[in-house]
Amino acid sequence: MGMMMTMTGTMTGTRFAAACALAALLAAPASAGLFGKKVEPLADPAYQVTYAEDREPAMPRSNGAIFQSATGYAPLVSGGRAASVGDVITILLVERTDASKSSSSATNRSGSAGIAPPTTGLFSKLFSASDAATSGSQSFTGKGNAAQSNALSGEITVTVAKVLANGTLLVRGQKGLTLNRGDEFVQISGLVRPGDISPDNRVLSTRVADARITYTGRGDVQRASRAGWLSRFFSVISPF
């Protein structure tokens, strides 16, 4: 009876120790990335909308001219294209990348040598024909392939955040969609030349310099396509 109680106590202690060890591992810095805090994608300041500053009514001038540049104007050649902070531009997402790589190599080397042993005398008793023959060969074959393809299409309207000294526009913006089973977020920022803007204020994403395009999701579909936290934990600590 005493032995059974001792064994039961030992097993209970072992389970308790294993539970404590697992809890310690989960609390370790290595598992910190498994339980990242929830971040609101639309709260990123790098993609926040930029509003045009309110203009105060221009004080009338007594210079006798009808046209006053202080009240704002658009050049005749630019039409209604975006040119000031707060103006909106529609970016057409036409991103597509295809990459492939293949390599192969093969080597082969062989050689042989033979010496005829003496047939008479004392040494003829010590050697046979097979003792003086040697040969060797070496071969290697290697092959590798890699391929990747990505595509993103759609439209997103952004605002002009800054007008640089050379006239280039710094644009940024984001869009959030709440769908049936989750949320979708599209964010973009970059530099646009005024000459690349069409008369209807559209520009291709391939014309955006220093482009930062982010497409993320959140919801049931995104969670279903991601491994569980325990699987990710063992992937972090696994030495293989």
Does residue 220 or residue 48 have the better pLDDT? 48
Residues pairing with 148 in the sheet: 99
Q: Tell me, rounded to whole angstroms, the distance of Cα 21 from its chain centroid.
A: 34
Measure the CA–CA gap between 94 and 206, rounded to whole angstroms. Answer: 7
Measure the CA–CA gap between 32 and 93, rounded to whole angstroms. Answer: 35
Does residue 119 or residue 209 have the better pLDDT? 209
Measure the CA–CA gap between 199 and 116, rounded to whole angstroms. Answer: 92
pLDDT tens-digit map of 174-217? 988 887 777 888 999 999 999 899 988 999 999 999 999 988 88
Supply the DSSP symbol for 165: T
Mean pLDDT of 71-94: 77
Closest by CA position to 234, among listed 29, 37, 15, 25: 25
pLDDT tens-digit map of 130-181? 555 667 788 888 888 888 888 888 899 999 999 999 989 999 999 888 877 7
Mean pLDDT of 79-97: 86
Domain spans of the chain? Answer: 42-51+74-98+152-237, 101-146
pLDDT(60) > 60: no
pLDDT(65) > 60: yes
